[in-house]
């Protein structure tokens, strides 16, 4: 009889693995390390994840899941909030999430994209998860438009997409340039939207 439930064990392994993957990347993370950090035996780990590949997929899924969670910030962002503010709230959450969880979530996102390049299954997982995110951004754009902060004819799919697309940019810029903040990044959207002088 296991002391703890199966889900707990699986989570324990996943946690260890995500921590490792965030700092070392998928391919430098060894199963031996996962075994050591999780505190279980090799056999036990392989009882929960049939292969490293499967574990990597689980990490990718959970990592984007975590990020998907950040867009709840958009819903909270009610009363009418301009797009830039919604984006900033999401980026803030993303950083907050890393602090809470104790590992670098954006780093894991990059790992996931990289893996999606060659593992179709990871690509599918990411596609499925990110579809939810896409819809959330669409809904946000719709609400924003409906409240008069966008042109009534604006294509809310396109706008949602554009706002969501700022996220990978934020993650990449954070990695290569040190100087980006949620505020600075989101301000670009606000500046873009400033009214040109009516002619």
Partner DNA sequence: CATGAATGAGTATTCATTCAT
Partner DNA sequence: GATGAATGAATACTCATTCAT
Q: Which positions touch a copy of itself (CB under 8 A)?
A: 23-25, 27-28, 83, 107, 110-111, 113-114, 116-118, 123, 126-127, 130-131, 134, 148-155, 158-173, 175-177, 180, 184-185, 187-199
Distance, CA of 54 to CA of 26 (rounded, Å): 12
| Cα–Cα dist 116/127, whole Å | 9
List the x/- string, 47-86, binding to DNA by CB under 7 A: x--xxxx---------------------------------
The span of 29-37, 95-103, 117-125, 187-195 binding DNA (CB under 7 A) equals 29-37
Q: Are 133 and 71 in contact (CB under 8 A)?
A: yes
Cβ 114 to DNA shortest distance, Å: 16
73: which residues sit within 8 A by CB, 6+ positions away? 86, 89, 90, 92, 93
- The one-character DSSP state at 194 is S
Among 18, 22, 40, 164, binds DNA (CB under 7 A): 40
Contact status: 46 vs DNA (CB under 7 A): yes
90, 52 Cβ separation under 8 angstroms: no
Classify residue 71 by its DSSP letter. Answer: T
Interface contacts to DNA, rule CB under 7 A:
1-4, 9, 28-32, 40-44, 46-47, 50-53
């Amino acid at each position: 009889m296991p002391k703890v439930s199966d889900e707990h064990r699986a989570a324990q392994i996943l946690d260890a693995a995500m921590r490792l993957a965030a700092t070392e990347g998928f391919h430098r993370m060894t199963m031996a390390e996962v075994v050591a950090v999780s505190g279980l035996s090799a056999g036990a780990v392989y009882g929960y994840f049939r292969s490293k590949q499967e574990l990597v997929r689980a990490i990718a899924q959970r990592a984007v899941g975590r990020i998907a969670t950040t867009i709840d910030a958009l819903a909270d962002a009610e009363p009418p909030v301009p797009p830039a503010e919604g984006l900033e709230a999401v980026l803030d959450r993303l950083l907050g999430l890393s602090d809470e969880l104790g590992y670098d979530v954006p780093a894991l996102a990059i790992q996931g994209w990289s893996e999606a390049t060659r593992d179709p299954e990871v690509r599918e997982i990411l596609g499925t998860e990110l579809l939810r995110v896409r819809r959330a951004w669409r809904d946000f754009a719709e609400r924003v438009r409906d409240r008069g902060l966008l042109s009534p004819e604006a294509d809310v799919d396109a706008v949602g997409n554009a706002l969501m697309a700022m996220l990978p940019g934020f993650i990449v810029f954070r990695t290569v340039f040190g100087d980006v903040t949620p505020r600075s990044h989101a301000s670009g959207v606000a500046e873009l939207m400033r009214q040109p002088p009516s002619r």
